[in-house]
Amino acid sequence: MQAHELLKQLRIPELSEVRDYFRSLSTNTLLGMGAFTAVTAYWFATRPKALKPPCDLRMQSVELPGGEFARRGAVLNGGPLLSHFYEDAKTIYEFFHRGLRESKNGPCLGSRKPKQPYEWLSYSEVIERAENLGSAFLHKGHSKDREPYIGIFSQNRPEWTISELACYTYSLISVPLYDTLGTEAIGYILEKACISTVVCDVPEKAKLLLDCVSGRQHTVKTLILIENFAADLVSRAQQCGIDIISLKDAEVNKPQIPPQPDDLAIICFTSGTTGNPKGAMLTHRNIVSNSSAFIYVTKVNTVSNNSPIITQLQMHLAIQFVTIFNHSLRDSHLVSPLVLQASCPIGPQDVHISYLPLAHMFERVVQGVILMHGARIGYFQGDIRILMDDLTTLKPTVFPVVPRLLNRMFDKIYGQANSPLKRHILEFAFRRKENEMKSGIMRRDSVWDKIIFKKVQASVGGHVRMMLTGAAPISAPVLTFLRAALGCQTYLDIHCSGCVFTVCVCSLPEMNYYAAKGEGEVCVRGPNVFKGYLKDPEKTKEALDEDGWVHTGDIGKWLPNGTLKIVDRKKHIFKLAQGEYIAPEKIENIYIRSEAVAQTFVHGDSLQACLVAIIVPDPDFLPGWAKKRGIEGSYEELCKNKEVKKAILEDIVKLGKESGLKSFEQVKDIALHTEMFSIQNGLLTPTLKAKRADLRNHFRKLIDELYSNIKM
């Protein structure tokens, strides 16, 4: 009986009763209810959705049988390593032709003159010009089996990519050159690869090449210049036995000779911190497999094909395994978390800004992915100082960066928050977005984006939905902040983790690393591994063992969640007088976390019992940092101030202690230097790695003074 009465009380109202109820309400009440209903419905339809991880985050790699302590990324779900993603794109040559179909012959390569819009070549125009230039190479005696190497000595521009495609159209091999190598290294490469034809962009580079070969035996016969040149350059070249012709005059036409996946595509010469450059031999399969891993992560692990999420990926480490540049990546993960990775597939609607050197593999792999999907590449004007103007004109959706650029962006944003109130508002907005990111929400349409971060996003064109970074380590605070400010999902070195190679660690007893403990030298094997060094069997044997494992020189440690952390470097270790092993790069990457420090060079040797360091203070942060400690003056004055030096030494030693450095790994004294280490002054390689031998020689007097003042 009680149940019956309850049901009567809970009965569904009749339609007439509902109608009468709403008629009894006032107009304002009805409008309010309607507005509330509309807002609620809009919120449910548009609310940000958390991303879903593509694998179990508690175990992101899987150990393989065989006793080699080798692991492979769990993201593949037990599938085979990727050698290609699309059946119709197994070579770089096929990338272009797939792009032609995907874009329906849309715009391909673009360039601009100052204060002008971008002008575009279509896919068919690019392919036609490449066929004509490649025919000219054949006319000059090049073929797959005879003189297959073509030098490309140019800044990023459409003709660079056309020249590369010209090589692939006729199964030839491109050999990029770059002026920061220096004349000796360029001359060595020309001789090592027996290069007879070089495509140059400007007369200045042609003159540099002539300087490289002048007065010595050489193989160069033809220089093809992209831009106009004078008669005196032709005369000088003729004295060296070299013909100079324009790119336009070089183009003829012959039938295509497409390459096979296992044909060599590129000889990528390392910049090298010591000795002569080494030419890493890369096949089409090597590069295609690397590109395929990028596509796998951005396309297969989907949340929604129409997701507005911006994704940032880092490709650097995998590319290093292709080219074996052995860059160290302190405090980064090799098989890094694929946490919250959204679908961000490339398509014909995408636009890529090309300014990072095409002579290096990072930019080349990115471009390969862009072109095979029918997207566009816009080249910068050639001056990095006006890159922001190119960005706002081009409005790219894909923006590759290097940590150095991200650090500058970070410094500039915080530099503009020049009062305590502005800094508080900026940090408050960042914390709100950071909280969203921690819950898996990535977006750029929040109230904080509209009020605080809109200008930051507009500075890179306002349309960026994917960023990629590599070439060096970057601090977690900078990466997290920019991820929030730009709306970018960011992970370190993950795009091909376990997709195209298997990873193992090999014991190094002399450094107290043992594979059984999950520690040792990182070794990789897979379809993206290079084929060795050009005409250098000794160096090839050092890098590649008989089982096909590449010994990278990086020291890794497997973490409990299946990710691999790079913790050390084999190559640059040295002993102190007491016999302790020192890995200076590990220490340097801890010290540069200090706000006051921009660059550092840690030095020690077997004749000394302690370490010293050369520190370049950060010119943007040092004045404010010193002012907090009651010290004022110009940058140069502060660098000469003993109290500033003492404060910086205390700060970096504190960081070292917090990071677990042993007492013998801490520096005992430092010297402050005002000039940044750079490519121009010969202290960094073109890939921004420290030339340790050159740094040691450059600062020898200063180092000796530091040791003479230390009382042990």
Give the model confidence (pLDDT) of 302-333 as tens digits. Answer: 333 222 222 222 233 333 333 333 333 333 34
pLDDT of residue 602: 95
CB neighbour list of residue 73: distance below 8 Å, 6 or more residues apart: 55, 60, 61, 62, 335, 338, 497, 498, 499
Distance CA 576, CA 665 (A): 10
Instruction: At 611, list the tokens.
Output: 């370490």
Whether 92-286 shares its CATH topology with 574-709 is answered no
Give the Cα-Cα-Cα angle 411, 415, 420 (nearest 5 degrees). 130
pLDDT at 335 over 50: no
CATH class belonging to 92-286:
alpha beta
**Two structure tokens written together for 500:** 């195209």
Mean pLDDT, the chain, rounded, equals 83
Lowest mean pLDDT among 16-20, 371-375, 599-603: 16-20
CB 435 within 8 A of CB 480: no
Handedness of CA 92, 97, 103, 106 (dihedral sign): positive
pLDDT at position 486 is 86
Q: What's the confidence (pLDDT) of residue 136? A: 94
Q: What are residue 617's DSSP bridge partners? A: 597
User: In the chain, where are the structural domains located?
Assistant: 2-46, 70-80+500-569, 92-286, 574-709
CA-based nearest residue to 157, from 424, 321, 405, 380: 380
Contacts of residues 427-433 at CB distance under 8 Å and 24 or more positions apart, as own/partner, are 429/453, 430/481, 430/484, 430/485, 433/484, 433/485
The whole-angstrom separation of Cα 224 and Cα 200 is: 6
The arithmetic mean of pLDDT across residues 276-301, rounded, is: 84
* pLDDT for the residue numbered 217: 87
Alpha carbon 195 to its chain centroid, in Å, reads 29
pLDDT in tens, 243-270: 999 998 887 788 899 999 999 999 999 7
* pLDDT value, residue 205: 94
- The pLDDT of residue 293 is above 60: yes
Q: Where are the alpha helices (DSSP H) in 375-496?
A: 387-394, 403-416, 420-438, 447-448, 454-458, 476-486
- Give the neighbor-by-neighbor strand order of the sheet with 597-603: 597-603, 611-617, 667-672
Q: Please provide the DSSP assignment of 73-118 as one string.
A: EGGGTTPPPPS-S-TT-SSHHHHHHHHHHHHTS-EEEEE--TTS--
Contact 493/538 with Cβ under 8 angstroms? no
**3-state class (DSSP) for residue 472:** coil
Nearest to 241 by CA among 209, 271, 266, 272: 209
Predicted pLDDT at 418: 83
Residue 341: predicted pLDDT: 42
Domain 70-80+500-569: CATH superfamily is Luciferase; Domain 3 (2.30.38.10)
CA distance 482 to 474: 11
Among candidates 385, 379, 389, which has minimal Cα distance to 114?
389
How is 225-272 classified by DSSP, letter by letter? ESS---HHHHHHHHHTT-EEEEHHHH-------PPPTTSEEEEEE---
CB 369 within 8 A of CB 397: no
Specify the higher pLDDT residue, 208 or 60.
208
Nearest to 656 by CA among 591, 609, 577: 591
- CB 256 within 8 Å of CB 132: no
Which amino acid makes up residue 610?
Answer: C
Residue with tokens 């605070």: 477
Mean pLDDT computed over 97-126? 97
Predicted pLDDT of residue 622: 92
Task: Give 574-709's CATH code, choosing from 3.40.50.1820, 3.40.50.2000, 3.40.50.2020, 3.30.300.30.
Answer: 3.30.300.30
Measuring CA to CA, how many Å separate 79 from each of 73, 90, 499?
10, 19, 9
Q: How far apart are CA 298 and CA 307, in angstroms?
A: 12
Residue 473's pLDDT is: 59
Q: Does residue 268 come out as left (phi exceeding 0), alpha (psi in the -120 to 50 range) or beta? A: beta
Least confident of 337-341, 639-643, 668-672: 337-341
According to the model, what pLDDT value does residue 439 have?
A: 77
Confidence of residue 358 (pLDDT cuts 50, 70, 90): very high
**pLDDT confidence of residue 14:** 60
The tens digit of pLDDT for each residue in 148-161 reads: 999 999 999 999 99
Mean pLDDT of 116-124: 97
Q: How confident is the model at residue 118 (pLDDT cuts 50, 70, 90)?
A: very high
Which pair of structure tokens corresponds to residue 664?
């013998």
Please state at what angle helix 284-295 crosses helix 92-103, rounded to 10 degrees.
40
Amino acid sitting at position 683: L
Three-class HEC string of 538-597: HHHHHHECCCCCEEEEEEEEECCCCCEEEEEECCCCEECCCCCEECHHHHHHHHCCCCCE
Structure-model confidence comparison of residues 386 and 586, the more confident one: 386
Residue 216's pLDDT band (cuts 50, 70, 90): confident
pLDDT tens readout for residues 468-521: 876 555 667 888 888 889 887 563 443 444 566 788 888 888 777 888 888 888
Burial 619-640 (b: 16+ CB within 10 A, else e): bbbbbebbeeeebeeeeeebbe
The two three-digit tokens of residue 104, written as one number: 């329906």
Question: What is residue 470's predicted lDDT score, i.e. its pLDDT?
Answer: 66
Tell me: the pLDDT tens digits for 566-622?
A: 776 777 777 787 667 788 888 998 999 898 999 999 999 877 889 999 999 999 889
232, pLDDT greater than 50: yes
- Dihedral in degrees, nearest 10, Cα atoms 657, 659, 663, 667: -90
Give the Cα separation of 291 and 653 in Å (integer): 42
Position 289: which residue type?
Answer: S
pLDDT tens across 463-480, in order? 888 888 765 556 678 888
Comparing 559 with 573, the larger pLDDT belongs to: 559
Report which of 138, 523, 568 is spatially closest to residue 332, judged by C-alpha positions.
Answer: 568
